[in-house]
Structure 1
Amino acid sequence: MRKIFKNKLIYLALGALFLGPVACKDSFLDQPVTGQITDAQLATQKGLEGLLVGVYSVMNGRDASAAWHAGASNWMWGSIRGGDANKGTNSGDFSSMNPVERFETDPNNTEVLGKWRGCFEGIARANKLLSLIPLATDVDEAVLTRITGEARFLRGHYYFELKKNFNMAPWVDETLDYSTGIADVKNDTDLWPNIQADFQFAFDNLPEAQAQVGRANKWAAGAYLGKCLLFQEKFTEAKAILDQVIANGKTSDGKKYALYPNFNGLFRFANENSAESVFAYQATGKAQNVNNSNQDMAMNYPYNVLPGNCCGFFAPSFELASSYRTNASGLPLLDGSYRLPANELKTDQGLKSDAPFTPDTGPVDPRLDITIGRRGVEFLDWGPHAGYSWIRDQSYAGPYTPKKYTYAKSETSTLDGSGWTPGYLAVNFMIIRYADVLLMAAECEVEVGSLEKAREYVNMIRDRAANPAGFVGATVNYQIEPYPASDFDTQAKARERVRFERKLELALEGHRFYDLVRWGIEEETLNTYLNYESAKIPSHFNGATFTTKHSILPIPQREIDLQGKDILTQNPGF
């Protein structure tokens, strides 16, 4: 083969010598542009696979130059807006976040622009790949189907992000012709049918097993399809899909979906891509690959100390922490009485780190100390949380630090320590995990009237949380029990318990705000939250109120202006 190829090169070279003077007259200037890859060159298996990796890579927000606000963790858009946490740090650092958490965002906010552009960067990459599929030569049909399925899954993911944040965004797919310039596409089309179609195609066409762990497979697509249907309140259809995922779902490397045995171990580096990880963006923290780290959360560490050595963002709220209070039966205080002075969690707010402090001794759900760092309780393997000295401005941010996606001291070797922060996290971020699937299924069961099945799913999660192998504080009064049948004997009671379990289980994972909005309870819930927090940290929340105008974000004004005419319609109220 090498000899034949070499001889062909010789013949071509000789031909060029003989034909050169003639060809020069007509086509000397008609030469391919050097340094530019053509569509035909990309339409190979190697080219298509490379483009597909590029579509995945935008999930952490980094390649969109919007790492802090565009990533799929949604720590700002889902958790902070949902009342799980406040911005943290101090008022002056990233002040563009201040109006986001106070629900005062306007169309010129740079954080909003970053989220919009991050989503469309992923969509553009998916569409470019899909447009090349028909041009592919010498690529097996099964490979093309698999690549198409992954690309459509990822486009569905990015559009799902746009839908739940902005509601109305222009639908752009691979058929759009840009040859005459930027196309004028209005944002007047309901996105749900197209998003659902992308996930349905992926569910129908992706394989169960993938050659590389972390790639979207059939069951990740099924989970996302079920979530898409749930958001549309198509409970019967969502239940049918989620039932299949629960019964048959596997990770891309063949593990049957299951809850990780203990809640604490779920978020550790050694256990990523476990049987609970339905779909996650894959992260690495080594020096040559920090752009592929869990970079959108790199500022969310205790302030000025290891781990992270920066920056004090993403401070869990007083309201969330007290939500983990339980009664003598090991059940949550669903009536909101956890906010009362007699029940709320004891804190070190206002106390310096060298002042005496005894942590709360009342009963709490053990997930509290896996989710939230608080003074006097072990902070992974870094020793007891020091309180005040680990907080940049306690009077502004409160006494807590996030814990789920924080690296342990024993995991330091997985990180690059040469940059401005050692906090480029190598732990994958789970966009959908099996506990979320179970809770989505439980919600569907409630809405179709299968209350006992909903209780079964919720109690699976509570039983896992009760595993003492995951307990953190040896002296903490952990009390958690499964719900008795009497707590699920009416639809209203069952619905309340499923919703509260989502709050406890998925806290700080970017879900809360979107849950409140789709349930239609965001105005009451968030104003209660703002009133409670403003009494604790008045410099942060005094005067803040929530109106349903802020149930979605404004369309970035810069994007409207770039069209040069009335193409994009601003969301109501902005």
Structure 2
Amino acid sequence: MKNIKLLSVCALTATGILVASCKKYLEQPALGKLSGAQVFTSSGLDGLLIGAYSALDGGGGDGGALGGGSAWESAGSNWVYGSVAGGDAHKGSDGTDQQSINAIAQWTVDASNGFLNTKWKAVYEGITRCNSVLSGLNTVSGISDADKKNLGGQAHFLRGHYYFELKKMFNNVPYIDENTTDFIVANDQDIWPKIEADFKFAYDNLPGQQGQIGRVNKWAAAAYLAKSYVYQKKWTDADALFTTIIASGTNSGGVAYGLTDNYEDNFNAATKNNKETVFAVQQAANDGTNTISEANNGDMLNFPYNSPFRCCGFFQPSMDLANSFRTDALGLPYVNDYNSHPLKTDQGVDGVSSGNSFTPDAGNVDPRLDWTVGRRGIPFLDWGLHPGKDWIREQSYAGPYSPKKNTYFQATQGTYSDQHSWAPGTANQINIIRFADVLLLAAETKAQLGQLDAAQTLVNRVRARAANPAGFVYTYKSNSDPMGGYTTTKAANYVVATWPAGTFTVLGKDGALKAIYFERKIEMGMEGQRFFDISRWGIAQQALAAYYTFDGGFITDIKGSSWTPNKNEYFPIPQPQRDIMSDGTTSKLKQNQGYN
């Protein structure tokens, strides 16, 4: 306040005082500034590195994003850009709320959409923080080689992640590193080699395990490097790395990577950072700040409406996604015609409200459905049976379902939820890469190389976990006391099985890949990955057409939508960024193909 008052005095003084007098008051040393001697130490640089980690969720405060905008515009989960844009989910809520998402969901998005600019700024803030660490490492003295490698490896990994985010969203982006001095940089260079270099450095220099949970290790770097190879179709390089990771990789605690017995353990704060966690964004509830800035405020809108969660009815799973969990008599998915076997809902049924009787679908389903999709008549964690329409803000606009993977349990809400703001926060981690993801990417790689039996074995590891009764949803002992425990009666008719021996060989390469793609859809549903997958696979037009056709027959938000090939594979470069890089006539940032 003292500095503000001095500025006011200078502004209001009209005569009798020289301008130099004001200047004297204004020229004060920055308060709280750290000296180079304080920053350029092992602990000082680690503090800068923690700042680079803190940018992972895109949030800069209670409901805000780094660089301005709202936290959900830059959410680390990519729920808007990966899941809503990819057909996993409807925007939710109603048509007037957060209207910028409508254009993203319908693929009418253009360069003026403010969400894109918010995401761009937040990710580049993360890059800037990584560059600060790496710049400091170039000048620091008195630090051990081991610490220098570890700090540098983590900074390179995080920078690789941030650029991977930009590459898969925008494709053509300017590359800034710790040596850049002229920040007017064109976006006419392929940055994949730079991303690879960052992950390769991290892989070569990071230890196999870290002393603190949440810090990345060499195996996380290997997985991300392999994933970058997959995106570039470098199948041989990816295969070698995946083989090493699956055989030897360990998590930050030194435990060999594997699949948890219970699928849901990956989405529960009480069981996070388990053996399936390869790289996750850490979240904390009730950390003493009385804000939800560390409690996943990027997903604060994404809880059932008019429910115990208070807010806000966004991110509703699509009917297309829910139908994908239907299984046949053998427990196998309907890969080619899943929407021909739709689940029973109360969508559009006149007079059916939560107070009327409703019998859930009695057909065969994969149990992952009920850890991904909140649906009427099925236990919603320990909050009671999902009531259907009463928890939906506008069913005709966004459908009958509620999100589930981001939600906390009632029994542990005092520990793992954060209620310090107008919408809930949660300590649930944001999974960026988990071991199931690694297995399915490895299966895709094997199939591309013609190793179909090996690909099937990897997929079957994922399906075998889904078939484990330990991971089923069970009915309550008493529907009126949902925290009173569960019976041994399945909540739905869960029937799921592995692919019979030799199936992928019979299907051939194309058929095997289709099965692998479908497995990723149901295993990674509502995790912000879907659009980026269907785009890189080259099937976005047909996948989204199926979604628009089926869901559009019941739900108004995406009726008439279409996806344009040779354009919508990427989002447009945000216009404000092009303006910043312009000389008034020409921008250094060229716009992506098909956009103005």
When normalised by structure 2's length, the TM-score is: 0.88
CA distance in 1, matches of 2:497, 2:293: 42
Alignment map for 1:242-321 (pairs within 5 Å): 242-289=242-289, 290-306=292-308, 308-321=309-322
1:192 correspondence with 2:187: no
Equivalent in the alignment of 2:44? 47
Which one of 157, 174, 184 corresponds to residue 153 of structure 1?
157
Q: Partner letter of residue 571 of structure 1?
A: N
Asked if 1 retains the 8 angstrom alpha-carbon contact of 2:295 and 2:418, the reply is: no
CA distance in 2, matches of 1:488, 1:555: 40
Asked if 2 retains the 8 angstrom alpha-carbon contact of 1:373 and 1:400, the reply is: yes
Q: Partner letter of residue 301 of structure 1?
A: F
CA distance in 2, matches of 1:262, 1:416: 25
1:542 correspondence with 2:543: no
Q: Judge which range, 228-237 or 347-356, deviates more.
A: 347-356
Partner SS, residue 406 of structure 2? coil
Q: Deviations over 1:441-487 (max 9, x none)?
A: 10111011111111111111111011111111424111101001242
CA shift for structure 1 position 32: 6.3
1:481 correspondence with 2:502: no
Equivalent in the alignment of 2:364? 363
Equivalent in the alignment of 2:103? 99
CA shift for structure 1 position 304: 2.1
Which one of 523, 528, 553 corresponds to residue 510 of structure 1?
528
CA shift for structure 1 position 140: 1.2
CA distance in 2, matches of 1:528, 1:31: 63
Alpha-carbon distance change, 525 to 34 in structure 1, aligned in 2, over 3 angstroms: closer
Q: Judge which range, 526-535 or 309-318, deviates more.
A: 526-535
Alignment map for 1:522-561 (pairs within 5 Å): 522-537=540-555, 539-548=556-565, 549-561=567-579
Asked if 2 retains the 8 angstrom alpha-carbon contact of 1:362 and 1:477, the reply is: yes
Asked if 2 retains the 8 angstrom alpha-carbon contact of 1:83 and 1:529, the reply is: yes
CA shift for structure 1 position 411: 2.2
Partner SS, residue 291 of structure 1? coil
CA distance in 1, matches of 2:375, 2:426: 21
1:568 correspondence with 2:560: no
CA shift for structure 1 position 135: 1.6
Alignment map for 1:130-529 (pairs within 5 Å): 130-177=134-181, 183-289=183-289, 290-306=292-308, 308-336=309-337, 338-340=338-340, 343-350=341-348, 351-414=352-415, 415-421=417-423, 423-473=424-474, 474-489=490-505, 490-529=508-547
Q: Deviations over 1:152-192 (max 9, x none)?
A: 000000000000000000000000125xxxx2100001010
Q: Deviations over 1:346-396 (max 9, x none)?
A: 001132111221100011111111110000000000010000000000110
Alpha-carbon distance change, 127 to 382 in structure 1, aligned in 2, over 3 angstroms: same
CA distance in 1, matches of 2:539, 2:226: 22
Equivalent in the alignment of 2:63? none
CA shift for structure 1 position 41: 2.9
CA shift for structure 1 position 233: 0.3
CA distance in 1, matches of 2:546, 2:499: 26
The percentage of aligned residue pairs carrying the same residue is 46
Query: Where is the helix percentage greater, Structure 1 or Structure 2?
Result: 1
Asked if 2 retains the 8 angstrom alpha-carbon contact of 1:263 and 1:470, the reply is: yes
CA distance in 2, matches of 1:280, 1:427: 10
Unpaired runs of 5+ residues, structure 2, are 1-25, 61-65, 475-489
Q: Deviations over 1:529-572 (max 9, x none)?
A: 112211111x2122211102121111110111112322111111
Equivalent in the alignment of 1:24? none
Asked if 1 retains the 8 angstrom alpha-carbon contact of 2:379 and 2:491, the reply is: no
CA shift for structure 1 position 226: 0.5
Q: Partner letter of residue 417 of structure 1?
A: Q
Q: Partner letter of residue 348 of structure 1?
A: D
Asked if 2 retains the 8 angstrom alpha-carbon contact of 1:40 and 1:135, the reply is: no
CA distance in 1, matches of 2:146, 2:123: 28
CA distance in 1, matches of 2:444, 2:317: 26
CA distance in 2, matches of 1:362, 1:521: 29
When normalised by structure 1's length, the TM-score is: 0.91
Alpha-carbon distance change, 413 to 475 in structure 1, aligned in 2, over 3 angstroms: closer
CA shift for structure 1 position 527: 1.7
CA distance in 1, matches of 2:445, 2:342: 32
Q: Deviations over 1:10-30 (max 9, x none)?
A: xxxxxxxxxxxxxxxxxxx99
Q: Deviations over 1:282-319 (max 9, x none)?
A: 1101153521222211111100211x211010000010
CA distance in 2, matches of 1:110, 1:52: 29
Q: What count of residue pairs does the alignment treat as equivalent? A: 536
Equivalent in the alignment of 1:87? 91
CA distance in 1, matches of 2:311, 2:215: 32
CA distance in 2, matches of 1:35, 1:231: 44
Asked if 2 retains the 8 angstrom alpha-carbon contact of 1:39 and 1:132, the reply is: no
Partner SS, residue 523 of structure 1? helix
Asked if 2 retains the 8 angstrom alpha-carbon contact of 1:87 and 1:98, the reply is: yes
Equivalent in the alignment of 1:4? none
Alpha-carbon distance change, 551 to 85 in structure 1, aligned in 2, over 3 angstroms: same
Q: Partner letter of residue 498 of structure 1?
A: I
CA distance in 2, matches of 1:129, 1:138: 16
Asked if 1 retains the 8 angstrom alpha-carbon contact of 2:453 and 2:502, the reply is: no
CA shift for structure 1 position 130: 0.8
Partner SS, residue 432 of structure 2? strand
CA distance in 2, matches of 1:168, 1:125: 21
CA distance in 2, matches of 1:472, 1:517: 33
Equivalent in the alignment of 1:3? none
Q: Partner letter of residue 420 of structure 1?
A: W
Asked if 2 retains the 8 angstrom alpha-carbon contact of 1:487 and 1:493, the reply is: no
Equivalent in the alignment of 1:118? 122
CA distance in 2, matches of 1:136, 1:30: 30
Q: Judge which range, 495-504 or 29-38, deviates more.
A: 29-38
Asked if 1 retains the 8 angstrom alpha-carbon contact of 2:77 and 2:430, the reply is: yes
Alignment map for 1:5-20 (pairs within 5 Å): none
Alpha-carbon distance change, 189 to 463 in structure 1, aligned in 2, over 3 angstroms: same
Q: Partner letter of residue 176 of structure 2?
A: V
Partner SS, residue 550 of structure 1? coil
Q: Partner letter of residue 217 of structure 1?
A: N
Partner SS, residue 361 of structure 1? coil
Q: Partner letter of residue 128 of structure 1?
A: S
Asked if 2 retains the 8 angstrom alpha-carbon contact of 1:287 and 1:418, the reply is: no
Asked if 2 retains the 8 angstrom alpha-carbon contact of 1:374 and 1:385, the reply is: yes
CA shift for structure 1 position 416: 2.4
CA distance in 2, matches of 1:50, 1:41: 11
Partner SS, residue 502 of structure 1? helix
Asked if 1 retains the 8 angstrom alpha-carbon contact of 2:467 and 2:497, the reply is: yes
CA shift for structure 1 position 34: 4.5
